[in-house]
Amino acid sequence: MGHVGEGNRGDEEVMGKFGVKERNLEGQLVVDFAKRMDMAVVNTYFQKREEHRVTYKSGGRRTQVDYILCRRGNLKEISDCKVVVGESVARQHRMVVCRMTLLVCKTKRSKIEIEKKTKWWKLKKEECCEEFRQKLRQALSGQVVLPDDWETTAEVIRETGRKVLGVSSGRRKEDKETWWWNEEVQDSIQRKRLAKKKWDMDRTEENRQEYKELQRRVKREVSKAKHKTYDELYTRLDTREGEKDL
């Protein structure tokens, strides 16, 4: 694992002074890579308590092996970088975050023409169906339609449908279905995160058991929420109104 180490003598252009412990061979490779690519090791530029610099903890080992690199020209846009205590990305590895201010240029969005569709489904209603028949007869009686002129007939049908039944707005229908995430799941996950943070700060058996129990509870809550949502979905799809969701 690469340790870039404390101090930056001779490497001021690519790193700050606030690493952890001594540099090793793999850490030197990280520094050399940053030099070749004109990048900087962001973690090392911000003075933090060791707890907010250590990215890897296992047993009695505490070190810094996870880094955020950026172009040297972008360093001025980064205002903070630290380890988030209690948040794990992978086993024993802790999350590293940085705060960056970016200038976002607004671009003009090109308009996408979406075809408007005739609301043919309204023909299921008897009153709409009857009105459509009457209007279609009137329209066809005023046309010079040859027996084999299907295109002319089809256009009259389409035009009558648009006038009688209306057309869609052309906008995509929003997906109104609520996914399985709910307040109970959110609350359980938040309590699990707090328990993990507590255990990271104080590795007692009591804190470990509390964290493990909340882990199991979150799994149960997620499974319960998913089953409930799927049951509601299947029930809705069995109704006439639910056919529109297919």
Q: What is the pLDDT of residues 115-139, one digit of tens each?
A: 778 888 788 888 888 898 888 888 8
Q: What is the pLDDT of residues 185-240, one digit of tens each?
A: 888 888 998 988 888 888 899 989 999 999 999 888 888 888 887 777 667 666 65
Which long-range contacts does 229-238 make (Cβ < 8 Å, 24+ apart)?
Answer: 229/178, 229/179, 229/180, 230/180, 233/177
Residue partners of 223: CB distance under 8 A and separation at least 6: none
DSSP 119-172: -GGGGGSHHHHHHHHHHHHHHHHTS---TT-HHHHHHHHHHHHHHHH-B--SSP
Please indicate whether residue 44 or residue 107 has the higher confidence score (pLDDT): 44
- Return the closest-CA partner of residue 50 out of 89, 82, 15, 8: 82
